[in-house]
Structure 1
Amino acid sequence: MHRDFSRNILRLYIIKIAKWFMLTMPIIMLFYKDSGLTHEEAFQLKAIYSISIVIFEVPSGYLADILGRKFTLILGTILGTIGFVFYSAGTGYWIFMAAEMTLGIGQSFISGSDSAMLFDSLNADGKSHKYLKYEGLNFSIGNYSEALAGLAGGALAEISLHLPFYFQTGIAFIGIPAALTLLEPPRMEKRKRPGFMDILNVVKYALVKNNRLRWNLIYSSIIGTSTLTMAWVYQLKLHEFGFTELFIGGTATGLNLLVGTVTLFSSKLERKMGKKITVLSTSIIITGGFIAGGFTHSAIFFLPVLAIFYMARGIATPVLKDYINQITPSDIRATVLSVRSLLIRAIFAVVAPLFGWISDLLSLSEALLIVGLVFMALALSTVTLFLKTLKKKEG
């Protein structure tokens, strides 16, 4: 009897909403500042979150390949709820650290597993060729959720910077029943002998043996780290300009509506522009956005820079992820996608405390400029090798 695995798509969208309807996202740096933390301490907490993901990312992806995507998605949604309980129940650097560690571990169990579940569900129904369309829609739903949450979170923060965290706990909880009712799709192969060496073998295959996959992962991770960093930085820059929590939340709403809309057309734009132009243009815009932001001392100029940056993000994220999926075997796809997330978080764990330290030592603008130059150097040093892998695929 044929089972309709496409029913998983709606549940994955609910999980995406539970993870991305982030009332706390546009105001968390302001929350840290209000709690007496320096920029360095605030970015240390974000680094701790990333380190937690780095430690658990690949093992969690491996468990998804062994025990099933459903198992890890259930665990991830439960931990995601507990993390916000910590934020709601206490205050101070150490309780925030416990919350970030829990949220990081929870995120590691969802990251990669959700995209792998989507691809395998479509593949089981003979629709794998529609992955980019649905992944783009999934990404757009996330961004629209984050957009609406930005305005709501900003409004709640006007009342109290603690209030968004109370509501966030309830929102995180809705992902649990969605994960519990997923159907595990069949895969072409299942790994039969779990072990740490198997994890290392997949990592070695992805980053050492498979040249095409290696440069796809490295380049995608550099761009992913750049967009992640800007998500935390811009709220501090807007606060520096003197904007209120409501305006910052509203800006988050506008930016995510913009990126969500662009993402819906990412597949068509990539086909129209071609792979090379798509990659080069988004790379220059994303890394150059930091440098432009560092030179900008007026909100009138900074806000358009931010908008263009987020438009490029809306194209780059689903397109680069699709390149990876298309060259990755089904039985290790979740692990490989987790390797990508691991690389992003590992780079961010280094960049974030550095950014906070430079910001406290010099200024926010100088930190933007310096980090932007670092990202641009990393992107330009790898983009040629990455583009060669796309030519091999086309050939």
Structure 2
Amino acid sequence: MHMEYKRNIYLFLVFDFLTNLSPLSFIYALFLKQQNMSLTQIGFIISVYQISKLIFEVPSGVFSDKYGRKTCAYIGQVSLIAFLISTLITRSYNSLLLISIIRGISFAFLSGTADCIFSESILKCCPDKMDYYMGIDKILFYCSIGLSSIIGGFLARYSYATVFYFDIAIQIICFILRHHQQVWVDINQIV
């Protein structure tokens, strides 16, 4: 059983690295500017995303407790892929505002769920190594953020669509990794 939790830990670390490997995050405002959005419109689009993420953070936790972390994770991953595809094909300001809500919901559903599964798996497997694995997670987080900016700048030189394709491919890989997380820990089982 401990091996399954250890496998979850390693899958999470890979998943978290890939989830944060998002070149789009670094060129999103530039993409919107290329779509002839004003700086005010860009500010509203990004604000709607941040506000919806904030608003849905607590309800996503309640949803996760009621329907399970696996369901919550799938909703988050599918809605993130939907955001990426929708943003790639739409050019309407109002549509981009609505799509930003989907982005906020996806990140709200993903953030707490992934961290909860990670920490619960560590507690079940090797609680004395919590700081060690959290440290590795932070290192991988900052590495993926750094790589994202480099990859985003490189891909955007060719086309913004290429950046979207990259992000979509990464999120599909993350979806597959989530599917392979076999052990979904019940928080009530942790002593």
What is the alpha-carbon distance in structure 1 between the residues aligned to residue 75 and residue 154 of structure 2? 31
Report 1:244-255 matches (<5 A): none
What is the alpha-carbon distance in structure 1 between the residues aligned to residue 63 and residue 148 of structure 2? 31
Q: 1:59 to 1:181 in 2, by over 3 A?
A: same
Deviations 1:331-375 (A, max 9, x none): 9xxxxxxxxxxxxxxxxxxxxxxxxxxxxxxxxxxxxxxxxxxxx
CA RMSD, Structure 1 to Structure 2 (Å): 2.1
How far off its partner does 1:96 sit?
A: 2.1
> In the alignment, residue 137 of structure 1 is paired with which amino acid?
I
How far off its partner does 1:65 sit?
A: 2.6
Q: Which residue of 2 aligns with 1:251?
A: none
Instruction: Give the secondary-structure state (helix, strand or coil) at the position aligned to 1:5.
Output: helix
Q: Which residue of 2 aligns with 1:155?
A: 154
Q: Which residue of 2 aligns with 1:62?
A: 62
What is the alpha-carbon distance in structure 1 between the residues aligned to residue 64 and residue 3 of structure 2? 21
> In the alignment, residue 165 of structure 1 is paired with which amino acid?
F
| Number of residues of Structure 1 aligned to a counterpart in Structure 2 | 190
Q: Which residue of 2 aligns with 1:38?
A: 38
Q: Which residue of 2 aligns with 1:131?
A: 130
Q: Which residue of 1 aligns with 2:87?
A: 87
Report 1:1-395 matches (<5 A): 4-125=4-125, 127-182=126-181, 183-188=183-188
Task: Identify the range of structure 1 (49-58 vs 114-123) with the bigger mean alpha-carbon deviation.
Answer: 49-58
- Could you tell me whether the CA contact under 8 Å between 2:16 and 2:141 is conserved in 1? yes
What is the alpha-carbon distance in structure 1 between the residues aligned to residue 138 and residue 95 of structure 2? 31
Instruction: Give the secondary-structure state (helix, strand or coil) at the position aligned to 1:159.
Output: coil
> In the alignment, residue 140 of structure 1 is paired with which amino acid?
I
Structure 1 stretches (4+) deviating beyond 4 angstroms? none
- Could you tell me whether the CA contact under 8 Å between 1:48 and 1:101 is conserved in 2? yes
What is the alpha-carbon distance in structure 2 between the residues aligned to residue 30 and residue 14 of structure 1? 28
Residue segments in structure 2 that go unaligned for 5+ positions in a row: none
What is the alpha-carbon distance in structure 1 between the residues aligned to residue 76 and residue 144 of structure 2? 19
How far off its partner does 1:98 sit?
A: 3.1
Instruction: Give the secondary-structure state (helix, strand or coil) at the position aligned to 2:188.
Output: coil
What is the alpha-carbon distance in structure 2 between the residues aligned to residue 26 and residue 19 of structure 1? 14
How far off its partner does 1:94 sit?
A: 2.4
Residue segments in structure 1 that go unaligned for 5+ positions in a row: 190-329, 332-395
How far off its partner does 1:162 sit?
A: 3.2
What is the alpha-carbon distance in structure 1 between the residues aligned to residue 25 and residue 117 of structure 2? 26
Kindly indicate whether structure 1 or structure 2 has the higher relative contact order, using CA contacts under 8 Å at least 6 residues apart: 2
Deviations 1:218-246 (A, max 9, x none): xxxxxxxxxxxxxxxxxxxxxxxxxxxxx
How far off its partner does 1:3 sit?
A: 5.8
Q: Which residue of 2 aligns with 1:259?
A: none
- Could you tell me whether the CA contact under 8 Å between 1:26 and 1:153 is conserved in 2? yes
How far off its partner does 1:85 sit?
A: 0.4
What is the alpha-carbon distance in structure 1 between the residues aligned to residue 39 and residue 49 of structure 2? 16
> In the alignment, residue 54 of structure 1 is paired with which amino acid?
L
How far off its partner does 1:115 sit?
A: 1.4
- Could you tell me whether the CA contact under 8 Å between 2:2 and 2:124 is conserved in 1? no
What is the alpha-carbon distance in structure 2 between the residues aligned to residue 84 and residue 124 of structure 1? 35
Q: 1:98 to 1:130 in 2, by over 3 A?
A: same
Q: 1:99 to 1:143 in 2, by over 3 A?
A: farther
> In the alignment, residue 118 of structure 2 is paired with which amino acid?
L
Instruction: Give the secondary-structure state (helix, strand or coil) at the position aligned to 1:150.
Output: helix
Deviations 1:132-183 (A, max 9, x none): 3212212222221222222121111112233311221111111111112221
Deviations 1:49-81 (A, max 9, x none): 122222321111122233332221122111111
Instruction: Give the secondary-structure state (helix, strand or coil) at the position aligned to 2:25.
Output: coil
- Could you tell me whether the CA contact under 8 Å between 2:76 and 2:106 is conserved in 1? yes
